[in-house]
């Protein structure tokens, strides 16, 4: 068996997703290969630590604190209106939260394979660079719109309020129906 295939089988065995006959074959192979046996032992230790690690929810005020610090840093830069700042921070939150959750899950599942972890981190850096570029473009375009159309901030504020109200109503009715 190839080394990568054995690693995948080890992960499946730890996740209890391996058929009994395949599990038996894996353990027989591990008995004949001390290096892979030691690797499986390390994987078991990591798995045990992760399974017993406490799951902590971030404090609700953490997001508000981060947003306030971002806002303070951006306010110090000239030329950014409050509405553009609010829209940009809202967009960052909406886009970044699911991406960060997915990235965290991928990193946790790839801890056993350094090559896989390295590739995931490279892809994550590329994705985050793309998001930063899009957000910079968004902020620049928002500044141009505000400079040319003084009514634009009021329109955007109304649209954001409508969108938030719509999302809240959607969440409320979904909660009631379940």
What is the model's pLDDT at position 48? 82
Rg (alpha carbons) of the chain, rounded to whole number? 24
How do residues 55-109 score in pLDDT, each as one tens digit? Answer: 666 666 766 777 777 777 666 665 556 666 677 777 777 777 777 777 777 667 6
- If asked whether residues 85 and 148 sit together in one domain, one would say yes
74 within domain boundaries: no
- Please, what is the average pLDDT of the chain? 77
Buried b (16+ CB within 10 A) or exposed e, 101-113: eebeeeeeebebb
Would you say how long the chain is, in residues?
178
- If asked whether residues 26 and 111 sit together in one domain, one would say no
Q: How confident is the model at residue 148 (pLDDT cuts 50, 70, 90)?
A: confident
How do residues 125-142 score in pLDDT, each as one tens digit? Answer: 888 888 888 878 877 777
24 within domain boundaries: yes
Name the residue with higher pLDDT: 113 or 39.
39
- If asked whether residues 103 and 19 sit together in one domain, one would say no
73 within domain boundaries: no
Total structural domains within the chain: 2
- If asked whether residues 48 and 91 sit together in one domain, one would say no
- If asked whether residues 109 and 160 sit together in one domain, one would say yes
170 within domain boundaries: yes
Q: What percentage of the chain has pLDDT greater than the value 90?
A: 2
- If asked whether residues 172 and 105 sit together in one domain, one would say yes
Domain of 46 in residue numbering reads as 3-52
pLDDT at 19 over 80: yes
- If asked whether residues 40 and 96 sit together in one domain, one would say no
Q: What is the pTM of this model?
A: 0.34
CB 44 within 8 A of CB 112: no
- If asked whether residues 167 and 102 sit together in one domain, one would say yes
125 within domain boundaries: yes
What is the model's pLDDT at position 107? 66
- If asked whether residues 84 and 48 sit together in one domain, one would say no
What is the model's pLDDT at position 90? 77
- If asked whether residues 116 and 43 sit together in one domain, one would say no
Name the residue with higher pLDDT: 70 or 148.
148
Q: Residue 142: which of 95, 96, 74 has the closest Cα?
A: 74
19 within domain boundaries: yes
What is the model's pLDDT at position 1? 43
């Amino acid at each position: 068996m190839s080394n990568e295939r054995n690693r995948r089988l080890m992960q499946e065995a730890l996740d209890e997703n391996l058929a009994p006959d395949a599990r038996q074959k894996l353990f027989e192979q591990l008995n004949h290969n001390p290096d892979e046996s030691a690797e499986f032992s390390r994987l078991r230790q990591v798995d045990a630590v992760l399974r017993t690690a406490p799951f902590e929810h971030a404090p609700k005020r953490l997001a508000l604190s981060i947003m306030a610090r971002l806002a303070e840093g951006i306010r110090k830069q000239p030329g950014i209106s409050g509405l553009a700042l609010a829209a940009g921070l809202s967009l960052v939150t909406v886009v970044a939260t699911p991406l960060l959750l997915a990235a965290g899950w991928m990193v946790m599942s790839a801890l056993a394979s350094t090559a896989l972890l390295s590739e995931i981190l490279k892809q994550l850096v590329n994705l985050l660079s793309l998001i930063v570029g899009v957000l910079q473009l968004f902020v620049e375009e928002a500044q141009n719109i505000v400079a040319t159309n003084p009514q634009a901030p009021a329109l955007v504020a109304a649209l954001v309020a409508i969108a938030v109200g719509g999302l809240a109503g959607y969440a409320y009715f979904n909660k009631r129906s379940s």
